Amino acid sequence: MATVLIAGGATGIGRAAMRAFRARGDDVLLADINAEEGGAAALEEGTGRARFSHADLADPDTPARLVAETLEAFGGLDTLFCNAAVMHAAPLADWTAADWARSLAVNLTAPFLLTRAAAPALRRSDNAAVILTASTGALRGHARMHAYHATKAGLLGLGRSLADELGPDGIRVNTLLPGFIDTPFNAPFWAAQDDPEAAERALAASIPMKRQGCPEDVAGVVTFLASPAARYVTGTQMVVDGGYSAV
Residues that are catalytic: 148
What is the rounded distance in angstroms from the CA atom of residue 44 to the CA atom of residue 61?
Answer: 28
End-to-end C-alpha distance for the chain, whole angstroms: 39
Residues 6+ apart with CB under 8 A from 84: 7, 8, 14, 31, 32, 33, 57, 106, 107, 110
Residue of 241, 103, 108 lying closest to 182 (CA atoms): 241
What is the rounded distance in angstroms from the CA atom of residue 94 to the CA atom of residue 86?
Answer: 17
Residue of 215, 214, 123 lying closest to 170 (CA atoms): 123
What is the rounded distance in angstroms from the CA atom of residue 28 to the CA atom of residue 42?
Answer: 9
What is the rounded distance in angstroms from the CA atom of residue 218 to the CA atom of residue 17?
Answer: 8
Handedness of CA 114, 119, 125, 130 (dihedral sign): positive
Q: DSSP letters along 7-34, please?
A: ES-SSHHHHHHHHHHHHTT-EEEEEES-
What is the rounded distance in angstroms from the CA atom of residue 122 to the CA atom of residue 81?
Answer: 12
What is the rounded distance in angstroms from the CA atom of residue 167 to the CA atom of residue 106?
Answer: 25
